[in-house]
Structure 1
Amino acid sequence: MFTGIIKNIGTIAGVNRENDNYRLTINHGLNDLNLGDSVSINGICLTVVDFQKNQFQVDVMPETIKRTNLAEISVGTKVNLEPALKPNSEIGGHFVLGHIDTTGKLLSREVTENSVLLTFSIPKKYNPYLVEKGSIAIDGVSLTLIAVTEDTFQVGIIPYTQDETILGSLEVNQTVNLETDILGKYIYKDLKRGYQDEK
């Protein structure tokens, strides 16, 4: 489990593909990384299978490739990194599982006085899990929903987030990983089940 507070921007140093399986090598600046640790890479929970001082490797299953933007990365690509939540960690964002629901594309960016407003597409089936002022993880970054339509949503990022994550360098039409709020999913499912039981 993670919080959506990015701790480091890593760089893809290697992409090895064998059939439908990928092994990624990532240069990083994280502290206390160990074999078997879970790390969020652009919001995806993956396991460290090998590591050196400033580099680690993860294996990626075909299902993960299908649901995320990892198929589009290459050597040199920057990625958001967050180590797994520890029992004594501060929860500064929201509960992020690292299980990507779907991908979306950046539709527009609007610079305001002290932030950048980003509008993304999202498949309509995930709309029930989005609520204004609720949470969403975009490439692993915990953000607050400003506006929601049937198939889009908008968030704002402050200068710190622009500098400390890869969201500040996103380009229009670029694909991002999206994880909706797990609490919203459970509430929606429970309410839907209750409604069906009443019928």
Structure 2
Amino acid sequence: MFTGIVTDLGTVREVQPIGGGHDLRLVIGTSPAFLAAPVPVALGASIACSGVCLTAVQLGGDWFAVDASAETLSKTTLGGWRAGTRVNLERSLRMGDELGGHLVAGHVDGTGEVLSATAENGSVRWRFRAPAALAPFIATKGSIAIDGVSLTVNEVDREVFGVNIIPHTATVTTFGTLQPGARVNLEIDMLARYVARQREFGA
């Protein structure tokens, strides 16, 4: 479980085909502080990588490696990652940690497309197109995780929705280099997911 508050920007160092070329091992460089505090990351720990919960299978002083299955590659942006790709990183939530964003599972529901980024007062309004199947779960003033970043939805028009990014968020996440046309990982608010499931059964 995560909060959608990114604590480090990592960089993909290596992309290694495994599993007969169907899966990938990703080596991601990060800061030693990210791996050390508040307790050292252990093998098998969960790390959110641009919103995707992955398991650390190898560790170094300033890097870790994760494996991504064909299923994960088909549902997320990870299949397009290359050496140099920037990655939002968050360690899993520990009991007693501050819940600064919203509860994020790290289970990506699908990918969206960046449509535009427009300056709006002191922030930037980013607009995205979500898959039609996810659009009903995105509501104005609801929460959404975009590439692992917890954000508030400020507008919705069918499959298109918008969020505002302040300069601090742009500096400490991949929003600082994101461009229109890019694909992003989307995770809808888990509360919306369960409400929809209840309505499906007439609860």
Q: Counterparts in 2 of 1:25-174, with a 5 A limit?
A: 25-29=27-31, 30=34, 31=36, 32-174=40-182
Give the secondary-structure state (helix, strand or coil) at the position aligned to 1:194.
coil
Q: Do residues 4 (structure 1) and 12 (structure 2) align?
A: no
Q: How many residues align?
A: 195
Separation in 2 of the partners of 1:40 and 1:131? 24
Q: Which SS does the other structure have where 2:11 is aligned?
A: strand
Give 5+ residue unaligned stretches, structure 1: none
Alignment correspondent of 2:189: 181
Write the letter of the residue equivalent to 1:22: L
Q: Give the CA deviation at 1:113.
A: 1.9
TM-superposition CA deviations, 1:3-40 (whole Å, max 9, x none): 00000000001000131010000111213222111000
For 2:130 and 2:13, how far apart are their aligned partners in 1? 30
The residue number in structure 2 matching 1:13 is 13
Provide the C-alpha distance between the structure 1 equivalents of 2:197 and 2:136, rounded to a whole number of angstroms: 10
Normalized against structure 2, the TM-score is what? 0.94
User: 2:149 and 2:51 mapped to 1: Cα distance?
Assistant: 7
> RMSD of the TM alignment (CA)?
0.9
Q: Distance in 2 between matches of 1:81 and 1:7?
A: 6
Shift in Å, 1:91: 0.4
Output the CA distance in 2 between the equivalents of 1:114 and 1:168: 15
Helix, strand or coil for the counterpart of 1:124? coil
Q: Which runs of 4+ in 1 moved over 3 A?
A: none
What's the % identity of the aligned pairs?
Answer: 41
Alpha-carbon deviation of 1:112? 1.7
